[in-house]
Structure 1
Amino acid sequence: MTRAVETAVFAAGAVCWRVIDGRIHVLVIHRTVYGDVTIPKGKVDPGETLPQTAVREIAEETGLDVALGVPIGVSRYKMPSGRTKVVHYWAAHVTDEAVQRSTFRPNSEVAALEWVTIKRARTHLTYEPDVAILDAFAALVDQGVTETFALIVLRHGKAVERSKWDGPDASRPLADRGVAQAAALVPMLRAWKPRRLVSSPAVRCVTTITPLSAAIGRPIKRDAGISQDDWERGEAEVRRVIGKRVRVGKTAVVCSHRPLMGEIVREVALATGTPLAGYADDAALLEPGDFSIVHLSATNPSSGIIAIETHSPRV
């Protein structure tokens, strides 16, 4: 007789933080049913990705609309059922505007919200895995790199094959799967609240981020400096494009082509004084529709690349 394999339960959340009276405070929630104190988090809904879950759960439990920041760890522990729970966490800076717009009221799930210092949070939290995640966030605080922005390096969605397209390569459209990927990217990328959208002028790139542009109300800046045509002619201007994005210091999506992925990530490293290593090649190994998020300090440029994470749309 075969035994059923118990699958893990996946969840996501964030250490929400803000500055109060000159000191960093983090948000803990007092849960009604369990009578415990924990970090906001929740289970992944069917069809959801982990970043989507983190933002949705924070909104549902705290009424706060947040943008994800740096990934700060994964906790694993056994549930009373015997199944393993795997929880992915990010840092999330809560703005004063988000606090003012919060819709939280005590309810059957969460009795209260409390902003406390990191030191006090360690004594408040009920569970050791939560304390370990808090310690990972505290390490960022000690390094002075809590306030961050991200450059989201996106490879365009699946395109119609060259052999099946009779026309200029730059006008080659997305395949049906690429169109589905473009739609699936919207809720994922919104988790980081991008402020700028930069794309190769190629139809397959622009079309990939058009749904995101419509959803967040941000225009797409077309820049031939990251186009495949210019790259093939030896005229690409990746350094100019990426250098500007690093200088501006706003979270941005940069949509380009497979041959340029490695150069884009390397230019982020060079623009921030980060030693080049294997991480750059790993972050550039993207399938159509995949993206890597390169996290940088908004206040301490000498910190270099703080973290990189890679995601795929579920299509």
Structure 2
Amino acid sequence: MAQIVAAGAVLWREADGDVEIAVVHRQRYDDWSLPKGKLDEGETVPACAVREIHEETGYACVLGRFLRTVSYVHRGSSKDVHYYSAEAVSGAFVANDEVDELRWVSVASAPALLTYPDDRSVVAEFARLPADLSIVLLVRHAKAGKRSEWSGDDDLRPLSDAGWRQAAALQALLPLWSPTRVHAAPRVRCVSTVSGLAADLGVDVVLEARMSEEGFWPDEDAGLVRLLEIAADEGRVVVSSQGGVIPAVVSALADMGGLRLGEVPCKKGSAWVLAFTRPFGTWSTSDSPSRWPTLVSAHYIASPLPRP
């Protein structure tokens, strides 16, 4: 059976202190659905979601947390549609070949308008958490060759040719979440993985000793608190770290937030999209842990490279 991969989103905006989401009418099928579409050749799933949103609704958007994957059989092919939360940041709807009407509706009223149960399940997942969450993009550094084949100081081990390709792909992928800050463990390979992104954003890479293997393991709690401090700061953030740190950090934060993740993969050049509740008011590490940012969603992107 042929495999079709598609992506879409629950597109949302604030309206009078509440949240509205976009539901579109497709004239070809005479149905009401969430905006979505198939991947183009050489396109990543997140990039497809952003492109399809713009093509069908006219809105530019910023991705948030991953919601869920819907799978079904369509015209003899197996189809997987990956859905994100996405905030509308600019644009306006204009009728087009695919969509002839768009309605902004409350989250509560959307299920009655949507034609398909799968779309209603995606909206239900969106409604489970606040729309506006803090996002940390936790990245493992790109490929840097084998440690055994590098004779110099391991802190200075550079990216390989394959690693630079991964770094370039991350430079294109991560802006879909609109980060404004870039942090990295003080290793050449960690900094190089995100230096292109930092240059594009016009910011410096902030070095984070606690996000290195040597800095994290002597005091794991201090490392976790440091990541929570980073998450609580203003603006979304990219943090480049090491394979000996990321699984432990994600697992511990998931346990603290009551998430069940099971195995925590961490390939070189991969990224975890971590979504946190925002702390109330001004936050500091002296506060009760109940007021700290809480991890409520974690989604793994195995590779930043486009699909072949």
Task: Give TM-score scaled by structure 1 length.
Answer: 0.83
Does residue 69 in structure 1 map to residue 46 in structure 2? Answer: no
| Residues 170 and 229, structure 1, Cα contact 8 Å, conserved in 2 | no
Tell me the residue number matched to 1:3. Answer: none
Distance in 2 of aligned mates of 1:217 and 1:175: 25
CA RMSD of aligned residues (A): 2.5
Which string of whole-angstrom CA distances, capped at 9 and with x for unpartnered residues, describes residues 93-145 of structure 1? Answer: 33xxx2xx3054222222222101233322222222212212222333xxxx2
Tell me the residue number matched to 1:123. Answer: 112
Tell me the residue number matched to 1:92. Answer: 86
Which string of whole-angstrom CA distances, capped at 9 and with x for unpartnered residues, describes residues 21-70 of structure 1? Answer: 33321101122433322111111112222111111111222222222222
User: Structure 2 vs 1, CA of residues 238 and 291 (structure 1 numbering), >3 Å: closer, same or farther?
Assistant: same
Counterpart pick for 1:151 among 117, 133, 136: 136
User: Structure 2 vs 1, CA of residues 139 and 261 (structure 1 numbering), >3 Å: closer, same or farther?
Assistant: closer
Does residue 304 in structure 1 map to residue 294 in structure 2? Answer: yes
User: Structure 2 vs 1, CA of residues 257 and 240 (structure 1 numbering), >3 Å: closer, same or farther?
Assistant: same
Where do residues 1-315 of structure 1 align in structure 2 (5 Å cutoff)? 6-79=1-74, 81-94=75-88, 98=89, 101-102=90-91, 104-140=93-129, 145-230=130-215, 234=218, 238-248=223-233, 250-266=235-251, 268-269=253-254, 273-275=256-258, 279=261, 282-283=263-264, 285-298=265-278, 304-313=294-303, 315=305
Distance in 2 of aligned mates of 1:239 and 1:128: 39
| Residues 17 and 91, structure 1, Cα contact 8 Å, conserved in 2 | yes
Farther off after superposition, 197-206 or 65-74: 65-74
| Residues 26 and 117, structure 1, Cα contact 8 Å, conserved in 2 | yes
* 1:157 counterpart SS class: coil
Q: Which protein has the bigger helix share?
A: 1
- Deviation of 1:295 after TM superposition, in Å, equals 1.2
| Residues 295 and 306, structure 1, Cα contact 8 Å, conserved in 2 | yes
- Deviation of 1:184 after TM superposition, in Å, equals 1.4
User: Structure 2 vs 1, CA of residues 303 and 216 (structure 1 numbering), >3 Å: closer, same or farther?
Assistant: closer
Task: Output the amino acid matched with 1:126.
Answer: T
Distance in 2 of aligned mates of 1:169 and 1:235: 22
- Where in structure 2 are there 5+ consecutive unaligned residues? 281-290
- Where in structure 1 are there 5+ consecutive unaligned residues? 1-5
- Deviation of 1:197 after TM superposition, in Å, equals 0.9
* 2:80 counterpart SS class: strand
- Deviation of 1:299 after TM superposition, in Å, equals 5.8
Distance in 2 of aligned mates of 1:71 and 1:302: 22
- Deviation of 1:166 after TM superposition, in Å, equals 2.7
User: Structure 2 vs 1, CA of residues 19 and 314 (structure 1 numbering), >3 Å: closer, same or farther?
Assistant: closer
Q: Which protein has the bigger strand share?
A: 2
